[in-house]
Amino acid sequence: MKVEKLKAVAGGAARRADPFIRPELAQSGQTMKQPEHDMAMKRLARRAAGLARNAAGVDAGLAPVSVVIPCYRCADTIVEAVASVAAQKLRPAEVLLIDDASGDGTLERLKAIARVCPDGWVKVLSMPRNGGASGARNLGWRHASQPWIAFLDADDTWHPSKLSVQMDVLANDPTICLLAHPMNVQRRSDPPPALRYPLKVKICPRHLMWPRSSFPTPSVVLRRDLPFRFDENRRRAEDFLLWAQILLSGYRCARLNQVLASLHKQPFGEGGLSGDLKAMREAGLDVRRALYAEGLIGPWQMRVLDVSNLLRYARRHVLTYARRVAARRRARHAPIETRARTSS
């Protein structure tokens, strides 16, 4: 896609038909009130214009990374997710958006995103039927063309330095097969946390002592040629199983000490598949049984992990209850505060 076309979509100097104006209103000059996600689409177009300018140069400077994003009924959040990829200081070579049979207009939104980005940078794939995040990620994995794969969820965002930091680490230590980092929870309007120096890389020991993954999925960059894939029969804890299989099979995994991606809702107890705490606990137990059956953990590790998981399950219940109580209190006091401000 030419830079001029992207500028037009973004509202640049070259005036063309605005894709966010209804055709029946175009002749009268009336415009729709812009929904928030359409404004986000224009922000993405501006960032994509910068990407096109870079790609037009002699040295495109793109990271050899395929970004895989599973998409299920995420039309309101996917634009910001892709925009965070386009805003990378070191941009990836391609982005694969996989619609998981959403059936609600998400696929059309993904195609609209691809149209405002440079030709071929965003590839849209679709699942023939709903298969969960595992199936969507595996489909993207199969179609990836780059030696490294990075994952992002459709309702999360990356920080601008993420890929530049991770690819620098991987260039300095080619034996690392999987590199992850911590994530934080923040509002979408908040700025990304500053990098903390010195930057440290910790090689992960080849054992599991905790029933949770140290590798949040949107933080992971891994080698495309690893002989593992997400278990498509699982809807929960499938990422924990995959990371554990890679680590316990002897592949070198590492973790940075930088927060380079953000969640925009609590990681548990707040909707989605992770909102069902009991089901998440049972899924974790089933993953440990699978690892034990594969000979990747022993009986003593199973016992330690079972106890740790029970404590973690109890802690999550307490935190979820506390958040809900706080939310109810805010809801009760909000009208009173509003009336007080109005009367003053």
Which whole-number Å values give the CA distances from 304 to 207, 244, 288, 307, 309, in the listed order?
Answer: 12, 16, 11, 5, 9
Q: How large is the average pLDDT for residues 190-194?
A: 92
Convert 180-215 to b/e letters by CB count within 10 Å (16 or more is b): bbbbeeeeeeeebeeeeeeeebeebeeebeebebbb
- Of 24-38, 94-108, 286-300, the range with the lowest mean pLDDT is 24-38
The strand pair at 122-126 and 261-263 is best described as unpaired
Q: Average pLDDT of 98-123?
A: 95
Q: Measure the CA–CA gap between 210 and 267, rounded to whole angstroms.
A: 17
**DSSP secondary structure code for residue 230 in this structure:** -
So what's the pLDDT on residue 179? 98
CA distance 23 to 20: 9
pLDDT on residue 59:
45
Where do the DSSP E strands lie in 247-340?
253-256, 261-263
CB neighbours of 295 closer than 8 A, spacing ≥ 6?
none
Q: Judge whether residue 22 has pLDDT over 80.
A: no
What tokens appear for 35 in the block?
Answer: 């929904």
Q: How confident is the model at residue 316 (pLDDT cuts 50, 70, 90)?
A: low
The least confident of 13-17, 101-105, 172-176, 199-203 is 13-17
What is the identity of the amino acid at 58?
A: V
Residue 137 has pLDDT above 90, yes or no: yes
The residue ranges of DSSP E strands in 176-323, in sequence order, are: 178-180, 184-185, 201-203, 221-223, 253-256, 261-263
Mean pLDDT along residues 3-25: 32
Which pLDDT does position 291 carry in this prediction? Answer: 93
E-assigned strands of 163-223? 178-180, 184-185, 201-203, 221-223
Which tokens belong to 215? Answer: 């590798």
Alpha-carbon distance of 116 to 10, in angstroms, equals 9
**The pLDDT of residue 305:** 75
Poorest-pLDDT segment among 20-24, 210-214, 219-223, 249-253: 20-24
Answer whether residue 166 shows pLDDT above 80: yes
The token duo for 188 is: 């979408």
Distances (CA, A) of 158 to 30, 74, 187, 267: 36, 17, 13, 16
Judged by average pLDDT, the poorest of 152-161, 168-177, 236-245, 263-272 is 263-272
Burial letters 147-164, b for 16+ CB under 10 A, else e = ebbbbbbbbbbbbebbbe
The string of DSSP letters for 126-148 reads: E-SS--HHHHHHHHHHHH--SSE
Tell me: the pLDDT tens digits for 33-89?
Answer: 355 666 777 777 777 776 666 655 434 589 999 999 999 999 999 999 999 999 999
Q: What is the percentage of the chain residues whose pLDDT exceeds 90?
A: 56
DSSP 257: S
- The answer to whether 168 and 121 have CB atoms below 8 angstroms apart is no
The pLDDT value given to residue 30: 32
Q: Which of 116, 82, 124 is nearest to 4 (CA)?
A: 116
Q: Mean pLDDT over residues 98-125, rounded?
A: 95
pLDDT of residue 160: 97
Residue 298: CB atoms within 10 Å? 11
Lowest-confidence region among 2-16, 142-156, 294-308, 328-342: 2-16
User: Considering the chain, what percentage of its residues have pLDDT values greater than 70?
Assistant: 72
Token pair 């890389």: residue: 201
Strands 122-126 and 92-99 turn out to be parallel
Average of per-residue pLDDT across 138-150: 98
- Of 66, 116, 126, nearest in space to 94 by CA: 66
**Nearest Cα to 87, choosing from 16, 171, 3, 191?**
191
What mean pLDDT, rounded, does the chain reach? 80
Per the CB < 8 A criterion, the answer to whether 125 and 140 are in contact is: yes
pLDDT for residue 98: 98
Q: Which pLDDT band, with edges at 50, 70 and 90, does 331 fall under? A: confident
pLDDT confidence band for 26 (50 / 70 / 90): very low
